A and B are shown apart, each in its own frame.
Chain A
Amino acid sequence: MKVEAELPPRTRPSVVELESELPPSAPEPLVKRLGRVALGRQPIGLAFGAPYALFIAVLFAYPLGLSVWISFHSYFFTAPGMSVARPFVGFANYRAVLSDPAVRQSLLNILIFLVINVPLTVGLSMLLASALNSLIPFRAFFRACFYVPYVTASVAMVAVWLFMFNSTGVVNSVLGPLAPVPSWLVNQNWAMPSVAVYVTWKQLGFFILLYLAALQNVPKELYEAASMDGASWWHRLWAVTVPGVRTVTTLITLLAIIVGANLFTEPYLLTAGGGPSGKSASPVLLMYQTGIEQNHPDFASALGVLLVLLVLVVVAAQRLLQRHQA
C-alpha cells in the first residue's frame, strides 16, 4: 500500500516566527543578503533537494501533466513513428466518464467500501492498539500477528482468501447453512463488502502501530484521574483515549480514504474483471481496463483526473472540519 499522509495542523512554530525571534546580528553585506533573499538562508538546501525535485519533475509532474493533456484530447496509443490526429475535444472525455453507468457503479462501490472500511479501520485499530498498549505478556508476538498481513503481498494473500472464501472453502464449511449463496466474492451484495473486509484486515497492522504511537503520548495522569473518578475501561476509552488521539484519527481517516479511492490491486485480483455485474469494480480498475486493455487512455485519464479532484475535495473538507473542531 502506498501510504499517504496529510500534515496535521502545525503545532511547531513556523519558520517566519522563528526567524523573527533571532537576535539581531551585524548588518550583512549586500550580496550575501541578496543571495539569502533570493535563495533562502541555506541555499545548499537546493542542492540537497535537487535530486528529489528532479525525480518529482520528471517522473511525476511530467506524466501527470501529460495525463491531464491526454484527458482533453482524443488519444490512443500508437507505435513509434506512427502519427495520428489527436484533436482537442474539450470536456468530451469528462462527459463520457460522468455519463458511463460503469463509472457510476464503481464510485458507488467505493462508497460502500469506504463506509465499511474506514469506521472499521479506525475503530478496530484504536481498540486493538488500546489493548496492545496495556501490560500484557507476549506483546511482541501480538504485534507481529497484526502486522504480518500488512507486510505480505496482496498477490500472495489473495490466493489464500480465494481458497478460503469460495463456495467450498473453510469459511463456508464453518458457516454451513448460513453461508451466502452464491458465495462471498461472486455475490452481488457481498462482493464489495468482502473486498472491504479483506483490505481492512490487510492494512490494519499499520494503523494499529500509528495508534500505538499516539497512545504513548497521551499523558498517564489523565488515565489516572479518570480511573480515580471511577471510570470503567470503556469510559476511559471515550473520555481520555479518543480525544487524546484525535489528530491521529484524522490522519488515519484520511489515509484510509485515499487508499480506498485508489483501490486497484484487490478488486483486480480478488474479483477478476470487476466482479458480479461490476459490483466490485473500482474506478482505478476501470481506468486500467479502458486505458490499458482497451486502448482508450483519454477516457481513463479523464476518470483519473476526476478521481484525484474528488480525493482533494474530501481531503480539503476533512481539514476544514478539523479546523472547525480545533
Chain B
Amino acid sequence: MTPATRTEDESTVAPDDVVEDEPRTPRGWWRLALLLVGALVFVFPFYYMIVGSLQKTQNQSLSGALPQPGNLTLHNYSEVNAALDLGRALINSGIFTGGVLLATVIFGVLAGYALAQLHFRGRSLLFVMMLLLLMVPFQLLIIPLYVLIVRNYGLGNSYLGMIAPFAINSTAVFIFRQYFMQLPKELFDAARIDGANELRILTRVALPLVRPALLTAMLLTFIGPWNEYLWPFLITKQQRMEPLAVALANYMNTVQSTVANPFGTILAGAFVLAVPAVVLFLAFQRYFIAPNIGSAVKG
C-alpha cells in the first residue's frame, strides 16, 4: 500500500495505533481530549473574531466571548462595507490572486516538470536560483523591484504590477518538481520511445497523475497573494485598486470614532477577508491531505 494510493478513509488504521487486543478507550480518550483542547485553543481567536464582529458595543470581558443576544448586530458589516467597499476590494483581491494562480499553473508546472524530468543545460542553475529565491526576504528586493516595476516598466497602480513579483510561486514550483520526481522514469522513457513530444508527455501522462498535487500547490499558492499586504500597498495609488488585505490594514489605522464599535467593524472586515480562504480550504480539504504532501517530503 503506497502512500500515493492510500485514500483518506476513516476506517484505515493509522500506524501509530496498535489495535489488536489493546482496549482503545483509555489511551484513545486521552488523545482525543488533547486534540480537543488544542483545537479549541487554536480556533478560539477565529471564533472570537466572529463574535466580536457581531457585537453592537465593544465588550472585552470574558462574558463578551459568548454571543449575547442583546448585543448582536450585523451593523459592523455594513459599516465596514461603507468605509471600504468590500465588493470592489474582494474583486481586486480576486484578480490579483487569480493572476498569480494562472501564471503559476501554466509556467510553474512547466518549470517544475522541466526541473524534475528533463535534462537540459542550465537545469541546476535554475534549481539553485529557485532555492535562493525561497530564502531571500522579499523586503530586500522590494525597493529595487518597486523602482523597476513602477518606473522602468510603468506598471504602477495596475493589476499587472501587483501580480508581477508573485507571478510564479516558487514554493509551488518546488512542490511540482517533487511530485513529478516521484513518477517513475520508465513511464517517460516509454512515452518518449513511443514518439510523444515532451509537451504531450506532460499533459497526457504526467499531469493526470499528479492532479491532487496540483490542487494542493494551488491552494498553497492562493494564500500568498490573497493575504499579501505590503506590495499591493506600495503599488496601488487609488483606493479602488486596493485588494482587501490592504484596504483592511489601512482601515485599521484610520478607523474613525464616529463608528459605533470600531473594533467590531475591523473584525467584520477581517472576517470577510478570512472567509474565502477558509471556505476554499475546507472545500478542497481532501486534496490537502497527508498522502499528497507525504510523497513530496519523502524524498
Binding site secondary structure of chain B:
helix
A143 to B241, CA, bound (A): 35
User: Which of A136, A146, A151, A155 has a CB less than 8 Å from the CB of B270?
Assistant: A155
Contact: A251 with B224, CB < 8 Å?
A: no
User: Is A61 part of the contact surface with B, judged by Cβ < 8 Å?
Assistant: yes
Residues of B within 8 A of A292 (CB): 142-143, 234
Binds B, one of A83-91, A94-102, A113-121, A258-266: A258-266
Binding site secondary structure of chain A:
helix
Contact: B42 with A258, CB < 8 Å?
A: no
Contact: B291 with A216, CB < 8 Å?
A: yes
Residues of A within 8 A of B14 (CB): 133-135, 215
A219 to B111, CA, bound (A): 33
User: Is A312 part of the contact surface with B, judged by Cβ < 8 Å?
Assistant: yes
Binds A, one of B61-69, B71-79, B84-92: B61-69
User: Which of B42, B136, B227, B291 has a CB less than 8 Å from the CB of A64?
Assistant: B136
Contact: A201 with B139, CB < 8 Å?
A: no
Interface string of B255-299 (1 = CB under 8 A from A): 000000001001101110110011001100100111111111111
Contact: B119 with A201, CB < 8 Å?
A: no
A183 to B287, CA, bound (A): 42
Residues of B within 8 A of A214 (CB): 294, 297-298
Q: Which residue of A lies closest to B220 (CB)?
A: A3
Residues of B within 8 A of A264 (CB): 137, 139, 230
Residues of B within 8 A of A18 (CB): 185
User: Is A153 part of the contact surface with B, judged by Cβ < 8 Å?
Assistant: yes
Binds B, one of A26-34, A43-51, A186-194: A43-51
User: Which of A77, A80, A209, A233 has a CB less than 8 Å from the CB of B288?
Assistant: A209
Contact: A147 with B15, CB < 8 Å?
A: no
Q: Which residue of B lies closest to A225 (CB)?
A: B18
Contact: B282 with A144, CB < 8 Å?
A: yes
The 6 A-B pairs at the shortest CB distance, nearest first, are namely: A45-B118, A304-B140, A45-B120, A156-B270, A40-B120, A153-B227
Interface set of A (CB-CB < 8 Å, partner B) = 1-8, 10-12, 15, 18, 38-46, 48-49, 51-53, 55-56, 58-64, 66-67, 70, 77, 80, 127-128, 130-137, 139-157, 159-161, 163-164, 166, 168-170, 173-174, 201, 204-205, 209-210, 212-220, 222-224, 227, 233, 236, 241, 247-248, 251, 258, 261-262, 264-265, 269, 284, 287-288, 291-292, 297, 300-301, 304-305, 307-308, 311-312, 315
Q: A3-B220, A45-B198, A46-B120 are in contact. List 9 more A-B contacts (CB 8 A).
A: A45-B120, A51-B111, A61-B129, A130-B16, A145-B38, A149-B43, A156-B269, A201-B42, A247-B297
